Amino acid sequence: MAIIFIHPPTLGARLFNPGLRSTAVGCLILAGNDFPEVILRSLQSWKMRLRVLKVEDKPSTRGLLVYEDTVFGKKSFSYVTPRLQPSLRHLEGSNLLRSKSFHILASPDDLVAQVSALRRLRDRYKIPGRPLIVWEPAPLTCDISTLIAHLEACKHVDVFSPNHLELGYLVEGKERGGSSFSKPAIESQARSFLHYGVGENGQGLVVVRCGEHGSLTLSGSGAEWLPPFYDKPTTRVVDPTGAGNAFLGGFAAAFQETGDAREASICGAVAASYAVEQFGVPKLSRNSYFSEELWNGTSVLARREEFKERLAEAGVLYSHGDEMLQRTSRSAEWADYYEAQRSIYISKKSTSNSTTAFCSVEHPGTFGRQHVLTTHTMGYTILGKEVGPIGYGLMGLTWYPTTESTVEEKIAMMKAALEAGANAWNGGEFYGTSLQDNSLSLLSKYFDKYPEDADRVILNIKGGIRFPMDVDNSPEYTRESVQSCLSLLGDKAKIDMFEMARRVSQAEYLESLRLLDRLVKESKIGGVALSEVNANTIRQAVKITKVAAVEAEISLWVTDALTNGVCEACAEFGIPIFAYSPLSGGILSGKAKCPEDIKNVFAKQRPRNQGENFEANLRLIEKVEEWAAKKNCTPAQFAINWVASLSKRPGMPTIIPIPGGGSLERVRENTKVVELTNEDMDEVDAYLKEFSHTGERVSPELNKWLDTTDTIEI
């Protein structure tokens, strides 16, 4: 019986990019004239960026993998058709060239040539940033005779990942390498690569995939072993083929996003667990209530958390061989061997032939090793729903009675935001000309037209303000406010989060939090969020209810939340922040050069934006324009993505900017993701340390609504 496999690194990356984030995974396939439709349909169902290039005059690449026992031990592989080999020319004209990480299976010489060519091509197209390069050495080239070539090539990648047998073959030769499994021996072998240097600055990782023995991740800070997810005999393990490759896909996806090798290894182990549960690929389905993806009937994120709990209970996150961790330089024996072999390698290098093609990320199965390229980024999950790195604020669509846009045009803007990945929507009961003409009434019209989008959007709705602007924290009005919102929305969509817009009455506010907690348990709303609160209120609120999110103003123009403890408290409790007004009323778009240019009525009222204060702050706008020019983006895009990039800074929580946009052009501009590097963020940090904002951020009339209470008693 023929069994068809789909490329496992693609599977591993896709598992950790669910829902709307699925398009962050890219896959390039060279398909011969007999490429099976069943594979193509399976990949298409995963909703990735799929680039299939047909080769009409040749058959698809096929290979034969033979296990020589019944426990999936010794095996052999051979190609049964000529290989179709991808090259960089297949990426030109494709968004895949802009990927943040590349998984390459290649010989050492080919790896070096292709990484260099990749960087030249990205420079030609002015693609910013340096992608993560994950190298899986071509198995047939792993032998002690090619050790130095592999060591030299490691300087061009960020992650070097052989399996333990390939590592043994490289260091000890095929006769001795891998003859028995020994953790100290594997660490010693892996450390030889780390000491020689992995990565341009020697800051890379060695990740050794060890099958049923788990994995080893080795970095300058130490060595960590993880067991596999299935660490005991179980009938759930059906076929281990491709598990190591799936591990690497999950690892790369998580490491590119978090930079945390331990978290990446955990994700890799979870990805591998799905690869072994069947012949072929796991079944993808969806939970209709939360619209959560299920693979083989289980949640990937839930399995990851289960694995973490098991690891914590067992205490298995440890470093093996402490004496090895203290070694900071390679031994004299290794040094002599390196130098002797290096001279031989250099003398032969000019005459060697490359044997493996660029991005031949291959999977052995009855239907060959599919030559594909996997790319990925990651998003966030809130209340079981995946959200993009940028959200969308609905306030401007209904707040102003003089808006010139028709309902149809507003719906088109909302659709454009969603299709751009901005699915975290923020609205308000009081965002409108009346309590019957507001964000909820517009949302109702939207879901009338696009009912299928109800599960794709995560809605955060503010209430608790009597029209037009009278804050009421009482439980009675909070219940009335929730019910009004539910009535306007009907059964067309779920209110994922409800928040009281401001806290003005301590006792009533706390009672209303208790009420909202009960409404969550009654399934009236999905969760409780907070708005414009200080750190003390956050710490007290988490004692009453699970806080799903905090809404706070964060922008280059208003940075208070970064230093007043709000971000610190959210990071402490794992609470994401919806950052409203990331353009500070449009000021950071660069279009306002004097106070008279400010169009937003609320922005006009702020002392910071008036008279001499604005003139003093104008140099920040000019600096944003300068930074944006370097990134080849608009000032608005730089300002919004600076807020989004705060999520990756040490000690910061997840921060999702929620810009508005009153036209299709503005929506598309404001929802575009622009990658800011650590160097970009460091440059902004350095400037902000020297820059002092002049003037208060809110007008005296609104100052009474600020949460300035030092303590709250419960």
Active site residues: 431
Calpha distance 358→117 (Å, rounded) = 10
CA-wise closest residue to 437 among 467, 413, 472 = 467
Tokens 């396939």 belong to residue: 29
Helix (H, G, I), strand (E, B) or coil at 268: helix
Calpha distance 493→505 (Å, rounded) = 31
Calpha distance 652→560 (Å, rounded) = 14
> Which amino acid belongs to residue 146?
T
Q: Which residues contact 586 (CB under 8 A, 6 or more apart)?
A: 592, 598, 599, 600, 603
Q: Which residues contact 411 (CB under 8 A, 6 or more apart)?
A: 442, 445, 446, 449, 450
Alpha carbon separation from 695 to 300, 310, 429, 470, 617 (Å, rounded): 48, 52, 30, 26, 9
Contact yes or no for 621/592 (Cβ under 8 A) = yes
Calpha distance 459→418 (Å, rounded) = 12
Residue 150: Cβ within 10 Å count: 25
Work out whether the CA dihedral 523, 524, 528, 529 comes out positive or negative. positive
Say how far residue 230 (Cα) sits from the centre of its chain: 26
Across the strands, what pairs with 381?
Answer: 386
Calpha distance 594→597 (Å, rounded) = 6
Alpha carbon separation from 571 to 380, 433, 558 (Å, rounded): 14, 36, 19
Residue 239: Cβ within 10 Å count: 17
Contact yes or no for 243/211 (Cβ under 8 A) = yes
> Torsion over CA of 640, 428, 550 and 507, rounded to 10 degrees?
150
Q: How many CA atoms lie within 13 A of 104 on its CB side?
A: 33
